[in-house]
């Protein structure tokens, strides 16, 4: 199969699939939730997590106003919810009411934590930088909510119990198959 080389990135889907999350925020009496595929861990000590959000988004303004945000990881069964919050405008509707989103109580912030999340982070905003047409919002994780039964004893997600939502781009969602899981020891494969 021949590769194509281009000067531009096109639709910019080459780096997908990625785990889709719902980022939540609360400020001035308003809550919002938005779908985000551009997110990442940045440090374990201190625990820092980054989300890339357009400054045009209502959620961005809520995060800036409050100085905090939530990151909610959902199972594949919640793909329709992710598409719903991603395809609607938080300035126009109350997404929690419209999509009947149940919540858990946050412990260190005021951000909504989704009851359906198998894991969620409460983050305090520590940095906000411009990168092109998006802002990289960095949060220090203040609290972690996680469904212990969804994880193996080594705290790795147990794919026999939870299938995470992956976003492929162009409104396509999929999940990981437990049958595709391979354990490849770095000690063995690094010495080949």
**Above 90 in pLDDT, residue 9?**
no
Residue 142 counted as domain residue: yes
- The average confidence (pLDDT) of the chain is 94
| pLDDT score at 57 | 96
Among the listed residues 90, 84, 64, 72, the one whose alpha carbon sits nearest the alpha carbon of residue 19: 72
pLDDT band at 4 (very low <50, low <70, confident <90, very high): confident
Of 60, 86, 65, 58, the closest CA to residue 74 belongs to 86
Closest residue by Cα to residue 169 from 11, 9, 3: 11
d(CA 181, CA 158): 11
Whether residue 55 is contained in a domain is answered as yes
Q: What is the pLDDT of residue 121?
A: 98
- The residue among 78 and 177 whose pLDDT is bigger is 78
Residue 9, in any domain of the structure: no
1 occurs within a structural domain: no
- The pLDDT, as a whole number, for residue 53 is 98
The domain in which residue 66 lies consists of 18-189
Q: How far is the C-alpha of 113 from the C-alpha of 1, rounded, in Å?
A: 45
Q: Is residue 78 part of a domain?
A: yes
Tokens read off for 40 = 């990442």
| CATH number of the domain encompassing residue 45 | 2.30.110.10
Evaluate if residue 20 carries a pLDDT over 80.
Answer: yes
Rounded to the nearest 10°, the torsion over CA 75, 31, 66, 59 is 70
- Number of structural domains found in the chain: 1
For the stretch 34-51, pLDDT in tens is 999 999 999 999 999 999
Report the distance separating Cα 64 and Cα 168, nearest Å. Answer: 29
């Amino acid at each position: 199969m021949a590769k194509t080389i281009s000067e531009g990135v096109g639709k910019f889907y080459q780096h997908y699939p990625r785990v889709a999350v719902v980022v939540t925020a609360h400020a001035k009496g308003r809550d919002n939730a938005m779908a985000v595929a551009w997110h990442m861990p940045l440090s374990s000590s201190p625990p820092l997590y980054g989300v890339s959000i357009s400054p045009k988004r209502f959620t961005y303004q809520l995060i800036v106003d409050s100085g905090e945000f939530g990151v909610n990881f959902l199972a594949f069964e919640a793909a329709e919810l992710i598409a719903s919050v991603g395809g609607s405008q938080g300035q126009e509707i109350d997404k929690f009411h419209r999509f009947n989103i149940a919540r858990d109580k946050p412990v260190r912030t005021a951000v909504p934590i989704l009851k359906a999340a198998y894991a969620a982070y409460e983050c305090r905003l520590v940095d906000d930088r411009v990168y092109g047409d998006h802002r990289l919002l960095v949060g220090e994780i203040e609290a972690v909510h996680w469904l212990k039964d969804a994880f193996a004893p080594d705290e790795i997600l147990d794919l026999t119990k939870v299938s995470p939502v992956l976003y492929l781009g162009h409104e396509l969602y999929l999940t990981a198959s437990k049958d595709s899981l391979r354990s490849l020891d770095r000690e063995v494969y690094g010495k080949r």
